[in-house]
Amino acid sequence: MRAAALALLLAAAPAAAEPPRLSLPLDCDYGRSCVIEDYVDADPGPGQRDYTCGLKSRDDHRGVDFMLPAFAAMEAGVAVLAAAPGVVAATRDGVEDTPVTPENRAQIAGRECGNAVRVDHGHGWQTLYCHMKRGSVTVRQGDRVATGDVLGEVGLSGLTNAPHLHLGVLHEGRIVDPFNPENRESCGLGGATLWEIDLPYHKTGLFTAGFSDGVPEFTDVQSGAARRDRATPEAALVLYGHVFHAEAGDRLSFEAKGPEDEIFIHAVTLDHPKAQLFRAFGRKAPPGGWPEGAYRGYVRLWRGETLIATRHADIEVRR
């Protein structure tokens, strides 16, 4: 009898180490209207590498960044969704949606996650949703949520300069890579993940995008010397993208808009890619010069109809 009772108790007890299974944490079409830009940093030292030993991370990056392809998508509203069922452990709202700059960096100290929600899934597992839109958080501490419930919207709050959702996964307070929860040391794809869905990995990506006042030298693109954040109305506006590990047939698209209208859209096919390369496209100033104001450009990398990476750049035109 005792043995039978013990067996029944053991059978009924939840597996303490069982992690949550994760669904897509935002309402988007992955590979079209959102894409992962950065993964958890798997390098314990000062360098960075993602879980495949690839380049798609940043030093000490502690989550997975789901990037929107444009600010307009954020302004239209993209819902942040609970990736797994649980109870809301904490929330924060009221942080302004504004890109981080050297001038405002000190103002967000201690609030780098921006507007955020933390969900407890039991057995020490939690998920953290960062950089949400101010005023969009729809849940409160103690609320029970199911997979897919709306938590708020993607925003631009905290330590960020582009609209995206930073998803952190924690167990007993420690960062867990949902693509490599077992912390295996081997490189490459394969092995267990926490995802219920397929999120294809591409080693191809964009280091950066920027504006310049002419077609830059590759060494200046690599060093950052090519980047301009201000230009005169008479200057050319050239948008460039720095690509890594492209494949033949990949397409790089360029789009730039000013205070009055679109100034160009262009795409180029990468027929002979290298480990690193850059491409640029731009326009000379029109007669009378560019209208003064803010200009924004987007460089996007496509494989067929699949969005692989997206970066943006801003420049101010002033006399």
Residue/partner pairs of 171-176 with CB below 8 Å, 24 or more apart = 171/19, 171/124, 171/125, 171/126, 172/124, 173/124, 175/40, 175/62, 175/63, 176/19
Q: Across-strand partners of 257?
A: 262, 296
Tell me if 251 is assigned to some domain: yes
Residues 88 and 146 occupy one common structural domain: yes
Domain count across the chain: 2
Tell me if 36 is assigned to some domain: yes
Q: What is the mean pLDDT of the chain?
A: 93
Higher local confidence (pLDDT), 289 or 185: 289
Residues 240 and 163 occupy one common structural domain: no
Residue 277, domain CATH: 2.70.50.30
Residue 310 reports pLDDT greater than 90? yes
Residues 26 and 145 occupy one common structural domain: yes
Q: Which helix (H) or strand (E) holds 87?
A: strand 86-92
Tell me if 184 is assigned to some domain: no
Let me know how long the chain is: 319
Determine the Cα–Cα distance for residues 295 and 316; give it in Å rounded to an integer. 6
Tell me if 168 is assigned to some domain: yes
Phi/psi of residue 297, nearest 5 degrees: -120, 150
What does the pLDDT read at residue 1? 37
What does the pLDDT read at residue 7? 40
pTM above 0.85, yes or no: yes
What does the pLDDT read at residue 17? 60
Q: What is the mean pLDDT of residues 240-258?
A: 97
Give residue 118's domain range: 20-175
Tell me if 278 is assigned to some domain: yes
Q: How far is CA 267 from the centre of its chain?
A: 23
Q: What is the mean pLDDT of residues 126-150?
A: 98
Residue 131, domain CATH: 2.70.70.10
